[in-house]
Chain A
Amino acid sequence: MERLRLAVKKDGALQFLSHLDFARAVRYVIVRAHLPINYSEGFNPHMKLSFASALGVGVCADVEYLDMELAEKIPVQEVMERMNAQSPDGFAVLDGHYIDAKAPKLMAMANYAVYDLFGPATAPLDQAGLDAVLRRFNDDADITFEKVSIKGKHKAREIHVKDHVIEPLTGTIKDDRITIRAGIYQTADGAIKPQEVWDILVNSFELPAVADLMLARRRAIYTRKDGENRSLFAIE
């Protein structure tokens, strides 16, 4: 068994796909590319394919990672060419490396993601005004947020935002469109969603925007250790 790790992108027509839809679209590409991918045993065999994260509807990614198990070792360049020749608008394979079969799972490694949050300003806002909003957020050490879990019978849980937003937010404004860059750190307790960061800025820090008028683009995803962001291709 050969384990291949690929860096791919999700945007364009695929931007609005849920994680399940995106995963299905990737499976179609793999079949069309005639890759010798392995399947699970059992009544309902499924591809040995796993992703670093579950990107939500409306979230683009400049880079997402996936692992697949191949029955034979095909040169990475060839895999990329074959897949890219069969990719729909919004998907592409950017890079790839064969990794050790025993390397940690992507889901276990990926714990730091950088997003751009993007939405229209609902009131006049200049760079100084935006910087002031972000400074208040960055200076506030104790921001909490009630997370209501749908699965856990609507049990509310208190999240300390600064456990997850560990670097200062930055932002720009151009043509009345706000862009905010937020790094989100995943701990053993979970993480905060990009949408939730936006909501907090709108609801608690007077960012002049509408809570559900926001699109997120993930700029990068890393494994973070000892305060250092490393590539998901870098396996110790």
Chain B
Amino acid sequence: MSRTVVIDPVLLSKVSKPARYVGGEWNSVVKNHEDVKLTVAYCFPDVYEVAMSHLGLRILYALLNERDDVAAERVYAPWPDMEALMRQKGYPLYSLETKTPVVDFDFVGFTLQYEMSFSNILNMLDLAGIPMFSKDRGEDMPLVVAGGPCAYNAEPLADYIDLFCLGESEESVQLLADTIIEWKEQGKPGGKKGLLKTLATQQGNYVPAFYTPHYTADGAFDFLEVTEPGVPATIEKCVVADEEHVFFPTKPIVPNIDIVHNRAVLELFRGCSRGCRFCQAGMLYRPVREKTPEHLVQLARQIIDNSGYNEISLMSLSSADYSCLPELVDQLLEEFKDQKVSVSLPSLRIDSFSIDIAKKVQQVRKSGLTLAPEAGTQRLRDVINKGVTEENLMQACENAFRNGWSTVKLYFMMGLPTETDEDLAGIADLAYKVLNLYRQITHKNNGKVTVSVSSFVPKTHTSFQWFGQLPVAEIERKQQYLKSLIRDKHISYHYHDARTGHMEAAFARGDRRLGAVLYEAWKLGCKFDGWTELFDYDKWLTAFKNAGVDPDYYAARTRDVDEPLPWDHLADGASKAFLKREWQRALQGELTHDCRHLSCTGCGVCNELGVSIVDHKEGEASHGKTTFSC
């Protein structure tokens, strides 16, 4: 029998934004649990407005709800005021669709988008009344599953999650659902462990309970022992070879309140092979696979008709690299010309071509322009393999200023390998050059340049995975140094809290011993750590101390390229030899080209996973790429 959580609306009216907690949105799918064979609670460990903006869970939600035998529902983290109400009144965490307690679902799936959301996962399990530690959950408890980019370093969460799913799930989630349904129908042979044993042999699936880490006498990670016969030593990601025909939702849930990205979303392609050496997404989602513009226009028409949105965002890791972008933009503008639907490009390449496209799509309203040079000097941009020059940037800005833009936002990182104060001075220098260019072109003094600098967090599966993050004090010195160089009221300078980056770095490359830190942090009340106003650095340091773990062993230590890494068994298809080579090239300031247009650079993903690059403009002559003409 399914239970429901009924919250008195008078009490709900006391919390901020009660609409976060009531569901009822257009295109949300409500099914009777009695009519399905599997119930899935998709959980995003952040507040509604953030969670609802995430495309990945929307895809899986719509995909599973296409099946008559599955009900997939949404669960988001309640803001602390709502959490207090729930704890006070004894309301358990519940789903938005049917208000069913999360503990009553068969399968509870978390998405791991950023490390600073981990404390919310523990808190959500606790609010749901589900024992936090995997080992404490009995046969009557839901299967707790997690996926998303942070699953590639699953170890800090290994004590809490029954099953991690690596890679793109559009195909594998069907097998996952079929496997669980079959297991249930057969009377759950072998119990939950029996199910996990079956799942552990399927591609992309990692069951941490079947592996035991070993450490050397001096406490270094040594190796991971496979303790369950028949499960693989290395878990390889799932990848969708045919991006053109893969499921994409055309009935997006339309939120009743405003959310972070409140617009229709079109995914142009998956993957990015520009090879920026700091970028984890660029490694995890290889290879590049495009959809055709014809298919994208059809999808856009259905999405707008089904949602009522008046803006459509062209999303990808690097949308301006879409080979058929000009054709696509023309076709979209033609399709929606009578409907006041605007098209937006969230990420721009730094070149004049990108500005031409931006000009086209922003015919009505000129918002600010955002460009990401990432580093202040050519030397450092070469180290990180960001293949842009100052000339590219100046040409892009000149084109923009000549076409009416007056606001430019420049994104940089701080604390990159080999960085010196000279590189930081280069950031200030670029900002001044862009501002002066504006004055020169327009003869006006109303230009505005925003410089936004984040502190670099080294991530697994990148060529910077061995690099030790700079100490908080050094980052803060650099932040102040750069601040001292910017003295123009038309340039505004923003930087991120170095202390959040420090914690993120510890978890990003942590091992299983960080599970205890997470538990201590949860006990101290850490939650919503991605929110500046709720992040409490001192509590986190106390948590590390209580667990007897040194955060700098993980965050600040430069690793030997030959030492075993706690995430070596979680494979995105790229070889470690490739990353080592890239790390060496970085230190020598050597560029590596984009394999999408030129020869293969040998990361190994295509061969390893049996997939190929799909770029609709590259000819057949090029290295066995799958190509079509637009």
A residues near B (Cβ < 8 Å) are: 12-18, 20-21, 24-25, 27-32, 34, 39, 43-45, 57-58, 86, 88-90, 118-120, 212-215
Q: B22's closest neighbor in chain A, by CB?
A: A13
Q: Is B186 in the interface zone, CB < 8 Å from A? A: no
For residue A88, give the distance in angstroms from its CB to the closest CB of chain B.
4
Q: Are B18 and A118 in contact (CB under 8 A)?
A: no
Q: A26's closest neighbor in chain B, by CB?
A: B308
B7-15, B277-285, B602-610: which lies at the interface? B7-15
Q: Inside 8 A of B258's CB, which chain A residues have their CB?
A: 20-21, 24
Q: Which 7 A-B pairs have the closest CB atoms?
A: A13-B24, A28-B308, A31-B308, A89-B24, A16-B18, A32-B308, A16-B19
16 further A-B contacts with Cβ under 8 Å, apart from A15-B22, A212-B13, A214-B10, are: A13-B19, A13-B25, A14-B256, A16-B13, A16-B17, A16-B19, A20-B258, A27-B308, A28-B254, A32-B307, A43-B364, A88-B24, A88-B25, A88-B256, A90-B24, A215-B9
Beyond A13-B19, A28-B26, is A88–B254 a contact (Cβ under 8 Å)?
yes
Q: Inside 8 A of A18's CB, which chain B residues have their CB?
A: 257
Q: Inside 8 A of A16's CB, which chain B residues have their CB?
A: 12-13, 17-19, 22
Q: Inside 8 A of A57's CB, which chain B residues have their CB?
A: 13, 18
**Bound CA span A111–B607, Å:** 72
For residue A179, give the distance in angstroms from its CB to the closest CB of chain B.
12
Q: Are A215 and B24 in contact (CB under 8 A)?
A: no
Q: Inside 8 A of B307's CB, which chain A residues have their CB?
A: 28, 32
Q: A28's closest neighbor in chain B, by CB?
A: B308
Q: Which of B9, B12, B19, B256 has the most CB of A within 10 A?
A: B256
Q: Are A15 and B10 in contact (CB under 8 A)?
A: no
B residues near A (Cβ < 8 Å) are: 9-14, 17-19, 22-26, 254, 256-258, 304-310, 339-340, 364-365
Q: Are A44 and B9 in contact (CB under 8 A)?
A: no
Q: Inside 8 A of A25's CB, which chain B residues have their CB?
A: 256
Q: Are A88 and B10 in contact (CB under 8 A)?
A: no
**10 A-B residue contacts at CB 8 Å?**
A13-B19, A13-B25, A16-B12, A16-B19, A27-B310, A31-B310, A31-B339, A86-B308, A88-B256, A118-B10
For residue B257, give the distance in angstroms from its CB to the closest CB of chain A.
5
**Bound CA span A103–B307, Å:** 32
Q: Are B308 and A29 in contact (CB under 8 A)?
A: yes
Summed over the interface, the residue pairs from A and B with CB atoms below 8 Å come to a total of 83
Q: Inside 8 A of B257's CB, which chain A residues have their CB?
A: 17-18, 21
Q: Inside 8 A of B364's CB, which chain A residues have their CB?
A: 43-45
Q: Inside 8 A of A32's CB, which chain B residues have their CB?
A: 26, 305-308
Q: Inside 8 A of B254's CB, which chain A residues have their CB?
A: 28, 88
Q: Inside 8 A of B19's CB, which chain A residues have their CB?
A: 13-14, 16-17, 21
**Bound CA span A215–B450, Å:** 44
For residue B204, give the distance in angstroms from its CB to the closest CB of chain A.
36
Q: Inside 8 A of A27's CB, which chain B residues have their CB?
A: 308, 310
Q: Are B365 and A44 in contact (CB under 8 A)?
A: yes
**Bound CA span A57–B308, Å:** 23
**Bound CA span A118–B13, Å:** 12
**Bound CA span A15–B26, Å:** 15
Q: Are B256 and A12 in contact (CB under 8 A)?
A: no
Q: Are B365 and A43 in contact (CB under 8 A)?
A: yes
Q: Which of B10, B22, B339 contacts A213 (CB 8 A)?
A: B10
Q: Inside 8 A of A12's CB, which chain B residues have their CB?
A: 24
Q: Which of B12, B17, B26, B364 has the most CB of A within 10 A?
A: B26
Q: Are B340 and A45 in contact (CB under 8 A)?
A: yes
Q: Inside 8 A of A213's CB, which chain B residues have their CB?
A: 10-11, 13-14
Q: Inside 8 A of A120's CB, which chain B residues have their CB?
A: 10
Q: Are A215 and B10 in contact (CB under 8 A)?
A: yes
For residue B161, give the distance in angstroms from its CB to the closest CB of chain A.
32
